[in-house]
Structure 1
Amino acid sequence: MVVDRIEVYLDGGENPVAVLREPPYTLKLDTRKLPDGEHVLRVQTYYRGGGLEIKEIPFTVNNYPDVLVLGLDEKGEVSGTLELRLAVGEPELPIEPVRISGWAYAVALVVILGGIWGYFALSPATQKIITEVAPPPAQEGKREAAAPAKGVDEALLKKGEQIFQQNCAACHQANGQGLPGAFPPLAGNPHLKDANHILNVLKNGLQGPLTVNGQTYNGQMPSFSQLSPEEMKAVATYIRNSWGNNFGPVE
């Protein structure tokens, strides 16, 4: 599903504090302008073609002023006249870093890195680990290189991939893994075995609880009735035969 806009509300307000329309969706929230205490941030995501997801995030603001003394190190040895600066409630004020000798830093770094290298280089389990993890993972967003099921048209697969990237990847992700708790995965999804079910969802949308591999999702998928029958067939073919799926052609 493609995001149309994201509206952000604060503490049950009727007017959004921000409306985000283009990625990356970022928001700067200055907590110094909020009273200390409990607050709630509500994020409403609207999807093209219909669909709404609401998420509320409670948080606590604590901007009690803190006193910072600059010019005097704790337990430091001093003499003569000192010029100190006292800062109260200035979060942007840079704090001087603790000065460490360059030689000491270099020696400590060599010791740490040498210890890590020695552990892995001399450990008898290293070769076993390398053997187990050596095969590289499939490139994210690409269909696995396994041969397609018999009767699947490669040209139709390629067309379906383009349609998927334009309309579906924002929610179900380019690697077909979805988003936990929000959008179900397509990789390893047993519901894809029924081609008619996929075409019906593309045409009419889907709303209500749906369980995939033991996890229940309760969202709303909009209709993609703007796609032609051939385009629906292409994207259905693509998701049924990608990321390890091997359900064959769509008749």
Structure 2
Amino acid sequence: MTEMVIDKRRVAESFSRAASSYDQAAEFQRQVGSNLLARLPERFAPQAIIDLGCGTGYFTRALTQRYQQPVMGLDLAEGMLRFANSQSIAESSWVVADAEALPLKTGSQDLIFSSLALQWCPDLLRALTQAAQALRPGGCLAFSTLVEGTLTELQQAWQTVDGFVHVNRFMPLADLQQLLAMAGFGRWHCEVEEHVLRYAQLSGLTQELKALGAHNLNAGRPGGLTGRARLRALTQAYESFRQPAGLPATYQVAQILMFKES
């Protein structure tokens, strides 16, 4: 993604506003993060651990429990960190930080864990190289991110209504893999999971995206309120995807482990 696509200030503000509602709507996010956590090698025993893009601290707490080590939560959204601090144990620490400018000493970390956060980085390669610099030899960056094909049903439905950008755009898998190869890690592995969520009505999806703070954050979105006529047209267009189990919303998730050379 380029700087023209994502405005990090707007990202931080949107997720800060969603702090109190996030956990109630985050079942999919918890599943993705749990899958990422399960991919870490069983014998891997990190001591210095970062949860990058920690949000409400759900996986900060999970990492603390798994490794029995203090975990530092980093996030761009100050509101998320305030909420995380109110929900968490005293051993946790919270720092407002940008993944593209990590406030970490070179070679200071064993594990940087980041679930569904780095897709909001305008310069993902910079974020990856920052992580590589902060890791010790043998350290791991474990992250999940959304790739092209995510929310394709919503994107296609909007295309029948108007020409504006209503759906967040995500990186093609081939472009992501190219960045992974350039980031300076000794070895890495990337696997894509497809998750299909289902809703009784379109409003269930749109309300969930708003509760998560993950509604449209791209440049080029229409200004002002979406008119009722356009919403009716969108609802009608989305109905063409209806299946017996409900309206599908597809997410393409890249699960990635990257190891720094020992």
Under TM normalisation by the shorter chain, which class is it? under 0.3
Q: Could you tell me the TM-score, scaled by structure 1's length?
A: 0.24
Larger radius of gyration: 1
Structure with the larger RCO, 1 or 2 (CA within 8 Å, 6+ apart): 2
Comparing both structures, which one devotes a greater share of its residues to helix?
2
Q: Could you tell me the TM-score, scaled by structure 2's length?
A: 0.23
